[in-house]
């Protein structure tokens, strides 16, 4: 497995692979890999001849006062894990490589980015779509894999790929959870033991809501109110949003049907956690 820091070298390797008829599978990450990332890499291994992992904590998707400086990083461990799952190339550029002085171009997806995480993290998705666009240009993937835990991110990336006619097959992979239900996230490392226990309420809410929807509840507000009450019982929790949205438009639903996804963003202490689940599947 090779570790590449230079944009030019990565792009050259990708173009050569393409020239040789190799199919490139790509998993973009910000590192601090967990089982969720590894599931993407394993699927990528099945789908591509050349499997590329990028590790880049992208400054443009963090707002002021967010955790860019503190974001967990462990390149050595990430590379060891990557090698175990059969990654061929790790692309780990630094910020100067990706955003050299004079950098001035950004990609903005409208509408889908206005609600949910987009409303509470202004500029976040502009940073995500910009870096994913750049990474696609550098890595030249045929197929790229993303986790469904970032449900809105996946929808926004799909929209960008469609709108900009990018020849990349975007695959969304299921959320990977700890045995107790907590959705895997690099940010879980911030949680104290007591906070981690409280964090389990998020997946519990999704389970309970799906159960009630399956039993016939069709009013989103009933489930949202029940979820709000559950969170209010927690010592260290603060709700960012709890919404039930249409899977494609991400607009709030007035009646639950097969398209309904419940999306949660909740601070446990200073740690902002997100989770989601379909209500009728
Ligand atoms: O999901 C992430 O880890 C990041 O948002 C991504 C897609 C790697 C872009 O920096």
Ligand 1 atom nearest to CA at 186: 3
Mean pLDDT for the stretch of residues 72-101: 98
CA of 254 to the centre of ligand 1 (A): 31
Quick check: 81 and 33 in contact, CB under 8 A? yes
pLDDT of residue 281: 87
- Per DSSP, the three-state class of 267 is strand
> What distance lies between CA 271 and its chain's CA centroid?
16
CA 262 – CA 226 distance, rounded (Å): 13
pLDDT of residue 103: 98
CA of 221 to the centre of ligand 1 (A): 31
Whether the CB of 132 sits within 6 Å of ligand 1: yes
Ligand 1 atom nearest to CA at 58: 10
Mean pLDDT of the chain: 98
The residues spanned by each domain of the chain are 2-173, 186-276
CA 1 – CA 41 distance, rounded (Å): 14
| The two domains 2-173 and 186-276 share their CATH topology (first three levels equal) | no
CA 250 – CA 235 distance, rounded (Å): 30
pLDDT of residue 244: 99
Mean pLDDT for the stretch of residues 66-94: 98
pLDDT of residue 12: 98
Active site residue 124: no
Q: How far is CA 144 from CA 26, 57, 106, 139, 140, in A?
A: 5, 18, 20, 10, 10
Whether the CB of 131 sits within 6 Å of ligand 1: yes
Ligand 1 atom nearest to CA at 29: 8
The CATH number of 186-276 is 3.30.1300.10
CA of 127 to the centre of ligand 1 (A): 9
CA of 225 to the centre of ligand 1 (A): 31
- Relative to beta strand 50-55, strand 89-91 is parallel
For the chain, give the percent of residues with pLDDT over 70: 100
Ligand 1 atom nearest to CA at 54: 8
Domain 2-173 has CATH 3.40.50.620: yes
Closest protein CA for atom 9 of ligand 1: 128
CA 238 – CA 240 distance, rounded (Å): 7
Quick check: 231 and 201 in contact, CB under 8 A? yes
pLDDT tens readout for residues 215-270: 999 999 999 999 999 999 999 999 999 999 999 999 999 999 999 999 999 999 99
Q: Which residues of 239-258 are buried (b: 16+ CB within 10 A; e: fewer)?
A: ebbbbbbeeeebeebeebee
Whether the CB of 58 sits within 6 Å of ligand 1: yes
- In the structure, what pLDDT confidence band is assigned to residue 188 with cuts at 50, 70 and 90? very high
Whether the CB of 29 sits within 6 Å of ligand 1: yes
Whether the CB of 176 sits within 6 Å of ligand 1: no
């Amino acid at each position: 497995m090779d570790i590449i820091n230079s944009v030019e070298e990565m792009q050259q390797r990708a173009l050569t692979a393409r020239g040789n008829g190799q199919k490139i599978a790509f998993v973009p990450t910000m590192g601090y890999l967990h089982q969720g990332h590894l599931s993407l890499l394993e699927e990528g291994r099945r789908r591509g001849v050349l499997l590329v992992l990028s590790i880049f904590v992208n400054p443009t998707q963090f707002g002021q006062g967010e955790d860019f400086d503190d974001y967990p990083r462990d390149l050595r461990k990430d590379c060891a894990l990557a090698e175990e799952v059969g990654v061929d190339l790790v692309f780990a550029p630094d910020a100067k490589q990706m955003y050299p002085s004079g950098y001035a171009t950004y990609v903005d997806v409208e509408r889908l980015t206005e609600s949910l995480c987009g409303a509470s993290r202004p500029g976040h998705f502009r940073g995500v779509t910009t870096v994913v666009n750049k990474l696609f240009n550098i890595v030249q993937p045929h197929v790229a894999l993303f986790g469904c835990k970032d449900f809105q991110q996946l929808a926004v990336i799909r929209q960008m790929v469609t709108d900009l006619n990018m020849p990349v097959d975007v695959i969304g992979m299921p959320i990977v959870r700890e045995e107790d239900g907590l959705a895997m996230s690099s940010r879980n490392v911030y949680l104290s033991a007591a906070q981690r226990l409280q964090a389990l309420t998020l997946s519990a809410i999704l389970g309970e809501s799906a159960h009630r929807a399956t039993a016939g509840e069709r009013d989103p507000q009933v489930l949202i109110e029940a979820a709000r009450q559950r969170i209010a019982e927690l010592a260290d929790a603060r709700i960012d949003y709890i919404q039930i949205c249409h899977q494609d438009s991400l607009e709030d639903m007035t009646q639950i049907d097969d398209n309904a996804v419940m999306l949660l963003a909740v601070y446990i202490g200073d740690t902002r956690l997100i989770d989601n689940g379909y209500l009728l599947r």
